[in-house]
Structure 1
Amino acid sequence: MKLSGNLQGEQVKRLWEIRQQWWQDESMDLCEVLTLDSAGIALMVKWGKAVRERGAIPLLTSVPDDFTKLATLYGVADLFSIESQG
């Protein structure tokens, strides 16, 4: 799955409503995410926990600095495997 735009409020709500379409993915490409907030982090944490419950490790690629900062602040960064860019 590739996310794009602003991972905040309304977009998070829309993604939650269609989660059955992407919830089974075990990797997420964040290269086109412009901004995110605590709602975006919460959505990613719920997805990451769902992946772990299936016995896999959630992989994030092209992770923006905003995500890293917020995930570290909230203590959830270790939930994910993060693939470094280039």
Structure 2
Amino acid sequence: MRIFSKSVQDPETINLAERRFDVSVSRLKRARRLTLRIDTNASRVKISAPASVDAELVHGFLERNRPWLERQIAARPELEIVRDGSLIPFRGQ
């Protein structure tokens, strides 16, 4: 028996700022509006939607907010991979 009932659709992908992001849609019974979040560490865009909203409306919401997503991703610094011998700044130096 599930206490918290929510269904999640299989993630799609979207290309933003020359990067590929998985899109996961969570259908929530208690949600009242569509919300959009970006997880750049996991390269994922998360959409929460009311259970009554159909997939076509969710896709339209994603496309309407594409410019906002691209601005948000461009404003975030690229992740640097730390390798053996890399310099790690301490207190900005």
Under a length normalisation based on structure 2, what TM-score does the superposition of the two structures give? 0.28
Higher strand share: 2
Higher relative contact order (CA 8 A, sep 6+): 1
Of structures 1 and 2, the larger Rg is shown by 2
- TM-score, length basis structure 1: 0.30
